[in-house]
Amino acid sequence: MDVKIEESWKTVLQQEFEQPYFTELTSFVRDEYRNHAVFPPGNAIFNAFNLCPFHQVKVVIIGQDPYHGPGQAHGLCFSVQPGVDFPPSLRNIFKEIHADLGIPIPPNGDLTRWAKQGVLLLNATLTVRAHQAGSHQKKGWETFTDAVIKLVSAQREHVVFLLWGAYAQQKKLLIDASKHLLLESVHPSPLSASRGFFGNHHFSQCNQYLAAHGENPIHW
């Protein structure tokens, strides 16, 4: 199957694209876009990959579902398009960055600048029906994104995985902790942020690890 995705990812994921589950997933997603309002826009489904080639991945942040409100999702977990109000979790992420590194809270919630520095902003499910959280779960996306995590773990070195909340932490079973850094905390959601997301210092720890292994730190 010819999937429109950045070339280095196309090479490493070609076997996944040939699997029966991915054919079924593609058929499901096409029907959903044809018959319903679905986010993100079709040309942004693989934005996380297109902005962050495989050989440039330094950090992986794992989310769950795209935002399901109009104009929010654009293919990067936690990120929203310019001009859109910060969702609560993203606001808390910026608050922790400010407390940890002193970086001012930015004017918009578009995390494209992170992706271009090597941060893979990966949702476990890459599409969602409008106003129906979780509507595209268990259709095949998780199989695909689990394969992505395994490939990064197996073929890259010294990657930082930021695992926020119980869902993301389940993915640590896919990661070789002997050659990567796994940073875990509760989710940045307002329901849990005060129980250990605030004060986790993940952003400074990430940059210290990258620098120790000869990589440029991320300008959060």
- From 31, 65, 100, 176, the catalytic residue: 65
Other C-beta atoms lying within 10 Å of the C-beta of residue 172: 16
Q: Can you tell me the distance from the alpha carbon of 191 to that of 193, in angstroms, rounded to the nearest whole number? A: 6
85 classed as catalytic:
no
Q: Can you tell me the distance from the alpha carbon of 213 to that of 58, in angstroms, rounded to the nearest whole number? A: 11
40 preceded by cis ω (within 30°)? yes
DSSP 147-208: HHHHHHHHH-SS-EEEEEHHHHHGGGGGS-TTTSEEEEE--SSTTTGGGTTTT--HHHHHHH
**Rounded to whole angstroms, what are the CA distances from 138 to 16, 22, 66, 135?**
16, 12, 14, 9
Other C-beta atoms lying within 10 Å of the C-beta of residue 52: 27
Instruction: Supply the residues annotated as catalytic.
Output: 65
